[in-house]
Amino acid sequence: MREHDRLFIGGQWADPAGTGTIEVVSPHTEEVVGRVPDGTEADMDAAVDAARRAFDGGPWPRMTPAERAEVLGRLSAIYAERQQSMADLVTEEMGSPILFSIFGQAALPQMVLQYYVDLAASFTWEDERAGMLGPVTVTREPIGVVAAIYPWNVPQFTLMLKLAPALVAGCTVVAKPSPEAPLDAYLLAEWAREAGLPDGVLNIVPAGREAGAYLVAHPGVDKVAFTGSTAAGRSIGAVCGQRLRPVTLELGGKSAAIILEDADLAATVEGLKMAALMNNGEACAAQTRILAPRSRYDEVAGALAAMVGDLVVGDPADYGTEIGPMAARRQRERVEGYIRIGRDEGATLLTGGLDRPHDRGWYVAPTLFGDVSNKMRIAREEIFGPVLALIPYDGEDDAVRIANDSDYGLGGSVWTADVAHGVEVARRIRTGSCGVNLYVLDPNTPFGGYKDSGLGRELGPEGLTAYLEHKAIPRPA
């Protein structure tokens, strides 16, 4: 049992204003494995005040980028040494299979942090331009106090997408973890103190939706960065729009994997094991619509059904497990509800279904539906679980049309023997990223979506720019 009775505010472990607690329940055992305070509006006030004071009068925004990078480099080094402890903790609290956790829940967040530490040295923080009346200095300054609100599925990764560039920029941060996965944030706070991050630069308050909404609207916040559902993103965007407050929204997805006629089917199916089913399918960029040419449809259906049906479902801490439990009971109910919807819509159940793999834990059988129309709800709505929809297409133009016929535009992939041609097809897909023969997020490249998948970009230099204001200083010749 991991119990925390305080919040991380102003660089110290502070007593919460309220008496409520959040119980963290293992999705594998259904037993309580942790407990943290349930943050209140008063706690958010204290955290924003600490971040405000650290920004308005503290050393962090006034350090050079190189000085900030030195501190964050120490944090990155600590993180690199202790990745396994972070991976184990995230697996325990939300059920991510340990092999995925080692990379996606620990190594990748550390890589993002180190990327921004390194970028600080090469980024253009100031430049001189020729103006109409004389020279102009254009400088980049930190945007201010950032509210970082992030989900339970990849908590460290989605936090680091916000925290690393914000801190390199010179901002201060109030982070709100989700109630399902707050424990890893406490470990990060300990490492930040050890690295010497100044007081108030990072503040962590686990809380539910009400306190999160209060944080979004708080007058002391200068920018909001949110990862989560499209519905919540709309609400946050509306509040920020009213207040003319910058906002980055990384929301849902229903990404399509297009299998072209010439694709190596064995390699494609092996690649889709990760691209479509990463993190138990609880990933916004998961390629859950599989588009197959009608001429190879039966072949693709058979190969995919065999792969999905053979996945090892079990204890997420076991290194042989490929699919763990859903992160919460309500999430299992949601996924099972979509399996019923797919059946009722007339899709063909090729493998999986409603028979639960284990009596204990929030497990769902990995499921593949065939004969899916892109108009069905299982093809249009984000399920956030190990449920795939196999959709036939007639010709490449039809495949592109189907892939783009979505309210979302986050990710996608093209699978082909001709990589150059795959790139040309990927250019036609209206999404923020589209891989060829793989799907991967690279710290050096922007990540985000079109349409209902959000606003703005994280990762890459674009992710750093999102936390900077641009100031022009003209002067006479």
Domain ranges of the chain: 2-251+453-474, 256-443
- The full DSSP string for 268-303 is HHHHHHHHHHGGGG--TT---EEEEEGGGHHHHHHH
Query: Which residue is it, tokens 């706070």?
Result: 189
- Return all residues near 233 (Cβ < 8 A) that are at least 6 apart: 226, 249, 251, 454
pLDDT value for 245: 97
Q: Give the helix ranges, DSSP H, for 262-404.
A: 265-277, 297-309, 329-345, 377-380, 396-404
Alpha-carbon span 90 to 40, nearest angstrom? 24
pLDDT value for 312: 98
Q: Give domain 256-443's CATH number out of 3.40.50.720, 3.30.465.10, 3.40.309.10, 3.40.50.11740.
A: 3.40.309.10
Q: Is 250 a catalytic residue?
A: yes
pLDDT value for 97: 98
Q: Copy the structure tokens of residue 5.
A: 């009775």
Which of these is catalytic: 250, 282, 322, 336? 250
- As a whole number, the mean pLDDT across the chain is 98
**Angle CA(295)–CA(296)–CA(302) in degrees, nearest 5?**
145
Give the predicted TM-score (pTM) of the model.
Answer: 0.97
Which residues of the chain fall below pLDDT 70?
none
Which of these is catalytic: 92, 284, 382, 434? 284
Assign residue 474 a region (left: φ > 0; alpha: ψ between -120 and 50; beta: otherwise): beta
Q: Is 92 a catalytic residue?
A: no
Convert the pLDDT of each residue in 176-230 to its tens digit.
999 999 999 999 999 999 999 999 999 999 999 999 999 999 999 999 999 999 9
Q: Copy the structure tokens of residue 267.
A: 């390699």
pLDDT value for 462: 98
pLDDT value for 147: 99
Superfamily of domain 2-251+453-474: Aldehyde Dehydrogenase; Chain A, domain 1 (3.40.605.10)
